[in-house]
Structures are given as C-alpha cells and as structure tokens.
C-alpha cells in the first residue's frame, strides 16, 4: 500500500516543490513520523515499529496541501452515480484521515503505527509550507483547516486525552 500511495501522490508533490523538495519531504516525513512515534511510546520498551508509512503519509499530506481542490476517488467504488460525483476533495480527505488517525491512536486496537502516520503528515505539512510559502497567501483558509487536526492532537496530548 505504501508503494501504491507513492505512485498516486508523488507527481503532485514533485510538481509543487520539485524533485529535491520531494526527496526532502519524503525523508523528513520519515524522521518526523519516527520522532512522533518515539514521543508517544518512549516508555513502552516492548513497542516496535518498522516501515516507511510516515514518509508516505508526509507525501500524501504534501500532495493534498498543494492540490486541496483535487478530487480523490476510492477503488472499487463508482466515481459517479447518475449526475452525482462521488469524489472527495483533497482537503476533506486530509482532515478526515488525520481525525481518524487521532481516533485510532486513542483507541489502540490494532498494530498500525498511526502515530508514525500522523508525524509524517506533520512533516509533510511543515516542509511543504516552508518550500511553497505561496500556500499561505493563495490558500490560507484551507492551509489553516489542514492544520486543525495537528493542533487537536497536540491539545489532546497536552490535556492527557491521548
């Protein structure tokens, strides 16, 4: 799934921040995902994690930030029913995904590194804004909306709710 995610979202990021910027987003998101995972599990000596899903989620969130109005469709579902378009705009997908990730982090009912996904998304978000600062003027509202789940997570952590 990670490779499929890279296939789907890499071109959007390369178009927005260039090839070197893409590599920076990828590796910095990998590190950010690992650091957030460490932050949440530093006292759990039995905890292990492996994979590049934080990096992939950073690329995904970067792509959404660069093209928030693009529509995404889900495999095995029709794209239209009559005249109704079933695509979901990127910024809604991004916000919904991170809100679900917060829920999954809180629930702790599977063996998925949701915290690494979230950390990767934070890395992708921050680095994309650093490399494409025009987003703050051209898409300020959507850029702020995409930051909302990030703020929610850290407020929940600070208040002990996660």
pLDDT, tens only, 73-129: 887 767 778 777 788 899 999 999 999 999 999 988 888 889 999 999 999 999 999
For residue 33, is pLDDT > 90? yes
* DSSP count for the chain of H helices, then E strands: 6, 4
- pLDDT, residue 86, reads 80
Arithmetic mean of pLDDT, 68-76:
85
- pLDDT given at position 149: 97
Q: Is 138 helix (H, G, I), strand (E, B) or coil?
A: helix
The whole-number average pLDDT for the span 58-63 is 96
Count Cβ neighbours within 10 Å for each residue of 101-130 and write b for 16 or more, e otherwise.
bbebbeeeeeeebbbbbbbbbbbbbbbbbe
Rounded to 5 degrees, φ, ψ at 90 are -55, -45
**pLDDT band per the 50, 70, 90 thresholds, residue 49:** confident
User: What's the pTM value of the predicted model, to 2 decimals?
Assistant: 0.90
71, 67, 60, 63: which is closest to 139 by C-alpha? 67
Question: Collapsing DSSP states into helix, strand and coil, what is residue 41?
Answer: helix
DSSP state letter for 60: H
What is the percent of the chain where pLDDT is above 90? Answer: 71
- 140-158 and 53-66 are packed helices; what angle lies between their axes, rounded to 10 degrees? 140
């Amino acid at each position: 799934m990670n490779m499929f995610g890279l296939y789907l979202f890499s071109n959007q990021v390369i178009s927005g921040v260039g090839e070197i910027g893409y590599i920076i987003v990828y590796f910095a998101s990998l590190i950010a995902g690992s650091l957030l995972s460490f932050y949440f599990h530093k006292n759990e000596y039995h905890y292990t994690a492996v994979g590049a899903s934080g990096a992939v989620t950073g690329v995904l969130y970067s792509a959404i930030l660069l093209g928030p109005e693009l529509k995404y469709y889900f495999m095995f579902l029709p794209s239209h029913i009559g005249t109704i378009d079933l695509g979901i705009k990127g910024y809604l997908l991004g916000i919904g995904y991170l809100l679900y990730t917060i829920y999954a982090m809180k629930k702790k009912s599977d063996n998925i590194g949701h915290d690494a996904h979230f950390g990767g998304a934070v890395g992708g978000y921050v680095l994309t804004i650093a490399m494409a600062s025009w987003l703050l003027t051209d898409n300020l509202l959507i850029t702020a909306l995409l930051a909302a789940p990030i703020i929610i997570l850290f407020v929940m952590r600070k208040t002990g709710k996660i």
